Chains A and B, each alone.
Chain A
Amino acid sequence: MTDSTPHSSSIPASGPAVGQDEWVARHAARRLMPVGPLRTVEERLRIVPWWAWLVLFIAAMSLLPVVESSGYVRRVGFDTVLYMLLALGLNVVVGWGGLLDLGYVAFYGVGAYAYALLDSDKFGVHLPTLVAVPVVVVIGAVVGFLLGLPSRRLTGDYLAIVTLFFLQLFQTVMTNGDSAFGHNLTGGPNGILRIDPLHLFGHDLTVQHQGVFAVSYFYVALGFFAVVFVALRFVNSSRTGRAWRSLREDPLAAEAMGMPVNWLKLMSFSFGAAVAALTGTLFAALNASVFPLTFYFVLLITVYTMVILGGSGSQPGVVAGALIISPLLEMLRDPGKSRIIFFAVLIGGVGLAARRSRTLGVAAAATIAFGFAVHELARAIDASWVSGEKAGGFAGAVDHWVVHPAQLASWIPPVSYIGLIAATLLVTTLHGRLRLVALVPTLYLSAFVWENVMLAKPEPARYIVLGLILIALMILRPNGLLGERRVEIV
């Protein structure tokens, strides 16, 4: 079909644009695409179909236990796959449905507890794995559906409160469930122990094999991941997936275009819950025990950070988010690795922000010089200020630069930490040369705080990092690493 009017035929659709808005629109579209070699690479990569990427990815992941014999690394690998599954499920609700589900990890808990009750000595029930897992998934979906019901007419904010309260309620019920109606239903704070391992193909999957983490669970989890990834991908490109994304974009328009918005919200909600519950079975079977506190705010924020960092709405994105955050959190437990990550991020961050290499050079040189000066000054005034030094290695090298007292006065951590926050916020408000000047002591202060305050307490320190990632992402790059650029016109 062609245009029917003489006017329009004089406006070639793909030639040079006539009319300002046309040009502006094209300009915006051009800006979306990367230019130069990056663009060619991206175009080349696009030709490879998604399933080929998936096969490649799964194959690479499967190699992990082959190249790494350490039980610890395998275990982290397994946990990472669980996180990938959790992120995929949350992506259905947040990324596609656009619903802020803050009770998500409670469904993970529902799955874990349901499996524990159906497959342990607790009540002497031992369902076969192939029955228990589907049953648990259905339970998760139904609980999700029921929780969504009262909130179905409501906007994101109300859903957020109901689901967050549900997370809290799950805690209270599981913790106090050891004396509900005079029965011990959930084991209370002590959880449920001696949960059956998965039983597939006539074998119990053992967790430990000759004292080392056995790989069977890793492969089972990877299999679950592949299935869930493909199934959700298919749903996303079906009419249901389009409807989910439509309601995320504009619920009213979606409703007017014939999509039953409330029903679709419930579906997306209960699908996310089902994936979480499925992941919960793996968790319970591997650990052979479940405790209420696993499924709480910390885990919620962790999974959210993964989804947001990777790019909510994009399946490869949220998987990448899990692949980055899960090992990162592990490495932050260890002071040695944690220190290397810190300095790498510090240098990389300044490098990215500097844009011009000269600025970067000046900042780096000034900071290094500043550090040595402060260090020497501190030594000259009171040798105990630098007495916490370690010998040799990277840590030793850093200690020749950062002031590191063996004993910290109790006022130092709060003052330096709050001072660092204030200095960082100040730097973001300054411009030009002034910013550079303020940046140097701030960088040094951050190294001081990291070495003296944060490394001593890895537990809160790594969660502080998570919180910072979330805030910084929302401000600097809300679409995450791989998410599509989003616009919203209100």
Chain B
Amino acid sequence: MDQFTQLTVDALTLGSVYALIALGYTLIYGVLKLLNFAHGDVFMVGSFIGFGVLQLLGGTDNPVVPVWALLVIITFAAMAGCATLGVVIERFAYRPLRDAPRIAPLISALGVSFFLANSMQLLFGADPRNYNTFDLSNGALYLRGIDIGNVRVPLLRIITIVAAFVLMVLLWFLVNRTRTGKAMRATSFDREAAAMMGIDIDRVIVFTFVLGSALAGAAGVLFAVRVPTTVSIGFVAGLKGFTAAVIGGIGSIPGAMAGGLILGFAESYTQGYVSTKWSDLVVFSILIAFMIFRPQGLLGRPDISKV
């Protein structure tokens, strides 16, 4: 039972990070019909921005601001930095290809992903970067927490999970309750019709990249406060986020959240009850099962193309 509780908490932590990444994929796919392969690397850059800003603020052993402010600042810095990065990528690597054959932006995205990962390696090397969050307030983030049965859920985990869900709720609100969100939904439904109704498509797309990339940046920090980050985490993180988006139904916001959580649970339980090595295989099997039995994903709509 204790192991189960522990694994469930793990699953929620991991799943919420996947969900945040998946949301970026889903949002961008929604408006551009583009699988943004570079998204995982934006996530990686986010975790590095967080690390850099953390050092600027004195690091974890000697922070110049209170702990809560420190966490908020590094998260927002990563979100802002990644949003900028996302906008630049869209403007220079994808926008010129908007009317090109479908495969062109996909390949450009592969190039961007490769470029980002190797640029980061060039500048910062392959060494892991550890936030050392244990040093904050003498380990309070790890030692304090909520007890469930015999398991203590550390504060840091709670903060991560809650922060991820707050961001998701904010996003849901943005997309469903604001004018810009409405424009986004209209664009994703039918880009040309939306343009004819006077929606500024370029603005909507830029806004989507801002949202999606900022979420990836936040995910980068939420991930790296617990686990050391390296320049090579982008590939696998992107792949998992992307899989989560597909499983949930690409284009669907609640779908991306559900997909992320499903992946988190699948990985965590496999690692706990079966073996730490084969969780990829389990996730791949889930993906294949979805491809065969429900290709539109959990909450996606089946795609009817007009002839």
Measured CB to CB, the nearest residue on chain B to A102 is B110
A145-173 CB mask vs B (1 if < 8 Å, else 0) is: 00000110110111011101110110011
Contact present for B111 and A157 (CB under 8 Å) = no
Contact present for A468 and B115 (CB under 8 Å) = yes
Contact present for B118 and A463 (CB under 8 Å) = yes
Count contacts on B: residues with CB < 8 A to the other chain.
Answer: 50
Q: Which residues of A contact B177 (CB under 8 A)?
A: none
Contact present for A464 and B246 (CB under 8 Å) = no
B4 to chain A, nearest CB (A): 25
A266 interface residue per 8 A CB criterion: no
Partner of B118 from the list A98, A150, A464, A471 (CB cut-off 8 Å) is A464
Contact present for A471 and B93 (CB under 8 Å) = yes
Q: Which residues of B contact A413 (CB under 8 A)?
A: 122-123
A304 interface residue per 8 A CB criterion: yes
Contact present for B278 and A100 (CB under 8 Å) = no
Contact present for B107 and A162 (CB under 8 Å) = no
B295 interface residue per 8 A CB criterion: yes
B280 interface residue per 8 A CB criterion: yes
A374 to B280, CA, bound (A): 53
Q: Which residues of B contact A466 (CB under 8 A)?
A: 111, 114
B276 to chain A, nearest CB (A): 9
Contact present for B102 and A156 (CB under 8 Å) = yes
A457 to B121, CA, bound (A): 9
B49 to chain A, nearest CB (A): 11
Contact present for B108 and A176 (CB under 8 Å) = no
Q: Which residues of A contact B236 (CB under 8 A)?
A: 168
Q: Which residues of A contact B295 (CB under 8 A)?
A: 153-154, 158
Contact present for A471 and B108 (CB under 8 Å) = yes
Partner of B108 from the list A98, A158, A463, A474 (CB cut-off 8 Å) is A474
Partner of A467 from the list B35, B112, B242, B287 (CB cut-off 8 Å) is B112
Which of A153, A166, A425, A467 has most B Cβ within 10 Å?
A: A467
Contact present for A158 and B278 (CB under 8 Å) = no
B106 interface residue per 8 A CB criterion: yes
A355 to chain B, nearest CB (A): 19
Contact present for A464 and B122 (CB under 8 Å) = yes
Partner of B277 from the list A150, A176, A453 (CB cut-off 8 Å) is A176
Measured CB to CB, the nearest residue on chain B to A94 is B103
Contact present for B118 and A488 (CB under 8 Å) = no
Knowing A165-B284, A165-B287, A467-B114, say if A172 contacts B277 (CB, 8 Å): yes
Contact present for A150 and B115 (CB under 8 Å) = no
A177 to B7, CA, bound (A): 25
A469 to B118, CA, bound (A): 14
Partner of A100 from the list B103, B115, B283 (CB cut-off 8 Å) is B103
Knowing A161-B246, A474-B100, say if A461 contacts B35 (CB, 8 Å): no
Contact present for A425 and B122 (CB under 8 Å) = no
Question: B residues within 8 Å of A by Cβ?
Answer: 29, 35, 88, 91-93, 96-97, 100-108, 110-116, 118-119, 121-124, 235-236, 239, 242-243, 246, 250, 277-278, 280-281, 283-284, 287-288, 291-292, 295, 305, 307
10 cross-chain CB contacts under 8 A? A100-B106, A157-B250, A161-B35, A162-B287, A297-B235, A460-B121, A464-B115, A467-B112, A474-B111, A478-B104
Known: A461-B122, A470-B114. 19 other contacts (CB 8 A): A156-B102, A156-B106, A166-B284, A168-B235, A173-B281, A301-B114, A308-B107, A453-B123, A460-B118, A468-B111, A468-B115, A470-B107, A470-B111, A471-B93, A471-B115, A474-B97, A478-B97, A478-B100, A478-B104
The 10 A-B residue pairs whose C-beta atoms are closest, nearest first, are A470-B111, A467-B115, A467-B114, A176-B277, A471-B111, A460-B122, A474-B108, A460-B121, A463-B118, A460-B118
